[in-house]
Copies of this chain bind each other. A is one copy, B any other.
Amino acid sequence: MKFQAEIDVMPKKEILDPQGKAVTGSMKNLGLAEIQNVRIGKHISLEIEAETEEVAKAKTEEACKNLLANLIMESYTFKVVPA
A residues at B contact (CB < 8 Å):
6, 8-10, 20, 23-24, 26-27, 30, 32, 34-50, 59, 62-63, 66-68
Secondary structure dominating the interface of A: strand
| Chain B nearest CB, measured from A59 CB (Å) | 6
| Chain B nearest CB, measured from A83 CB (Å) | 10
Contact B42 A46 (CB under 8 A): no
* Cα–Cα distance between A47 and B36 once the two chains are bound (Å): 5
* Cα–Cα distance between A30 and B6 once the two chains are bound (Å): 19
* Cα–Cα distance between A20 and B63 once the two chains are bound (Å): 13
A67-B8 contact given A34-B59, A35-B46, CB 8 Å threshold: no
